[in-house]
Homo-oligomer: A and B are copies of this chain.
Amino acid sequence: MFRLPRLVPRLRGVRYTSSTPRFPCVEAHAARQSRLASFVSSPQHPNSSPSGPEPPYARPNPTSYTVFHSSTPLPLTYHPDPLPTFDIAYETWGTLSPAKDNVILLHTGLSASSHAASTPANPTEGWWEKFIGPGKPLDTNNYFVVCTNVLGGCYGSTGPSSIEPETGVPYATRFPIISIFDMVRAQFRLLDHFGVDKLYASVGCSMGAMQSLAAGWLHPERVGKVVSISGTARSSPSSVAMRFAQRSVLMADPNWNNGFYYDALPPHTGMKLARQIATITYRSGPEWDARFGRQTRPPPSDASPDSPHVPALCPDFLIETYLDHQGEQFCLKYDANSHIYISKAMDLFDMTRPALQALRLPEAAALVEPEADASARPHSTSHSKSHPPPTNPPAHLPALAQGLAPLAQTPTLVLGVQSDILFTVEQQREVVDALRMAGNERVVYYELGGVWGHDTFLLDVLNVGGAIRGFLS
């Protein structure tokens, strides 16, 4: 509801406005809040109405994906107790070969579901529709493509919004903090279930690239090739900062209620604001200049065509209405706690040797000692005339090379985008240099131009798709 200012009982005669100032953006938000509140208090809540305004993750639709249930406890990176049971939602495209040697495990970014491409069970477009299918870069004439919703997510896999078996209510923030490695371990349980010993390739973009590297690191013998697109092997403080800003606005929403909101109004305001911030990091300034420039929203329908644009404090420029719309579209589509937990897992991702050894990861114990490594395999081994050592390496590069040692024999495609402000091109070069320094002589690296920033992997079928096709074949 529109609240009247408290100290200004009568506003007639005030110079600048004929009435109390109005804020359509604030009113629209209040209206959504009130629509949602009336739904939450209605008898249908939470899951009975198929078309209500409740978040889609609150009405799982297991007919559009398959759920793999594991009753074997999953060890966790940051918690002494394993997760006792868990579900992983997945979809597949193509046909598993009799030798089960044509599997591509596709990892998702932060908020994507397993629905990477349309299927007979769910014909809506997937998030990588143009990359998966017969003759496409992930060619389903050759490969059996598997995509899962990550552990911690809200689209069918176990996450904070899932019912905790012991209590019968959602975990909420009693869910343990998880890591990228935990997500990958859960996916390998699914591969075990399929009877797949070795992946043809592990492929991922953004957070999916972290998982892709983690898969090759955890199971060097089970991963044939690794594709890492616009990812990183060590989250930078500037990307942590952008995700921190998103978590902060979410956790400041009173509806977040320390994560216990599943029987009440979700923190839709915080989610909208978080998505606005995220969206800023997904594209680039040059793209916005080309796409929106300094154009403003269209004038109201009752305005005369000649009347000049009157600026407002609510969204005014097209870049603002775009961000507002992106936030609005997303705020009820994704679970706030999943956003918090998964973005935190991204922040925690660091494949430098000391960071890995500080974790509860048995695999890290096998990492070569720096001294032994230095004498046994000089760092310059993998550098050649065509791949010279970096001229200005970051201080952590040797530690990253030591951490990535298990990937030394795995053919790896790294692809980065120069306009990406979230996973910068410096981070892509760092992965390449560290892998080469670790002795990997089969690293392919492409750097793309263009203005699409981090989102390039969703848009540039020709260049991104072409690189993948060439590397996989």
A289 to B7, CA, bound (A): 48
Q: Are A285 and B174 in touch, CB under 8 angstroms?
A: no
Judge whether A285 and B6 touch: CB under 8 Å.
no
Selecting from A233-241, A363-371, A407-415, the interface stretch reads: A233-241
In the assembled complex, the Cα of A245 lies from the Cα of B278 at a distance in Å of 10
A292 touches B237 (CB 8 A): yes
**Cβ of A459 under 8 Å from chain B:** no
Check if A252 sits within 8 Å of B237, measured CB to CB.
no
A315 is an interface residue with CB less than 8 A from chain B: yes
Known: A358-B309, A394-B289. A317 touches B26 (CB 8 A): no
Say whether B424 contacts A285, CB under 8 Å: yes
C-alpha gap A50/B414 in the complex (Å): 59
Q: Are B7 and A263 in contact (CB under 8 A)?
A: yes
Best-buried of A23, A169, A174, A327 by chain B (most CB within 10 Å): A174
Partner of A249, one of B249, B311, B317: B249
Q: Tell me if A172 counts as interface (CB < 8 A to partner B).
A: yes
Q: How far is the CA of A263 from the CA of B245 in the complex (A)?
A: 29
Query: A141 CB to closest chain B CB, in angstroms?
Result: 42
Asked whether, in the complex, the Cβ of A311 is within 8 Å of the Cβ of B348, the reply is yes
A295 — nearest CB in chain B belongs to which residue? B237
Interface string of A315-328 (1 = CB under 8 A from B): 11111100110010
Which single residue of chain B is at the shortest CB-CB distance from A359?
Answer: B308
* A241 interface neighbour in B17, B167, B288, Cβ under 8 Å: B288
Cβ-defined partner of A280 (8 Å) among B176, B242, B259: B242
Cβ contact within 8 Å between B248 and A273: yes
Of A77-85, A209-217, A439-447, A462-470, the segment with at least 4 beta carbons within 8 Å of chain B is: A77-85
Contact yes or no, A172 B5, CB < 8 A: yes
Q: Which A285-339 residues sit within 8 Å CB-CB of chain B? A: 285, 288-289, 292-294, 308-320, 323-324, 327
Check B323 against A245 for contact (C-beta < 8 Å). yes
**Which candidate, A8-16, A62-70, A107-115, A190-198, is the interface stretch facing chain B?**
A8-16
A79 touches B276 (CB 8 A): no
Complex CA gap A174/B15 in Å reads 8
A257 within 8 A of B: yes
The answer to whether A161 has its CB under 8 Å from any CB of chain B is: no
Name the residue in A234, A235, A236, A315 with the highest tally of chain B Cβ atoms < 10 Å from its Cβ: A236
Find out whether the CB atom of B16 lies under 8 angstroms from the CB atom of A350.
no
Interface string of A239-261 (1 = CB under 8 A from B): 01110110111011010011110
In the complex, the answer to whether B421 meets A277 with C-beta atoms within 8 Å is no
For residue A25, CB closer than 8 A to chain B, the reply is yes
Are A174 and B29 in contact (CB-based, < 8 A)? no
Q: Is A397 an interface residue (CB 8 A)?
A: no
Encode contact with B along A142-156: 1 for CB under 8 Å, 0 otherwise.
Answer: 000000000000000
A260-B5, A264-B6 given; A313·B169 CB < 8 A: no
Across the interface, do A294 and B244 meet the contact criterion of CB distance under 8 Å? no
Chain B residues contacting A247 (CB-CB under 8 Å) are 313
Residue of B nearest to A349 (CB): B294
Q: CA of A401 to CA of B243 in the docked complex: distance in angstroms?
A: 39
A385 on interface, CB distance cutoff 8 Å: no
Q: From A355, which residue of chain B is reached at the shortest CB distance?
A: B294
Interface centre among A13, A84, A241, A252 (most CB of B within 10 A): A241
Cross-chain contact B260 with A7 (CB below 8 angstroms): yes
Query: A452 CA to B307 CA in the complex, in Å?
Result: 43
> Which B residue's beta carbon lies closest to that of A260?
B5
When the two chains form their complex, are residues A244 and B288 in contact, meaning their CB atoms are under 8 A apart?
A: no
Say yes or no: is A344 at the interface (Cβ < 8 Å to chain B): yes
Residue of B nearest to A292 (CB): B237
Q: Which A124-152 residues have C-beta < 8 A from chain B?
A: none
**Could you list some 15 contacts between A and B, CB below 8 A?**
A2-B258, A5-B257, A7-B170, A14-B164, A14-B167, A23-B173, A177-B312, A234-B294, A238-B280, A238-B285, A240-B317, A244-B323, A245-B276, A245-B323, A316-B347
User: Knowing that A11-B174, A236-B285, A238-B319 are A-B contacts, what are 10 other residue pairs whose CB atoms are under 8 Å apart, sorted by A's residue number?
Assistant: A6-B260, A7-B262, A8-B167, A29-B252, A177-B312, A237-B288, A245-B280, A309-B358, A313-B341, A317-B347
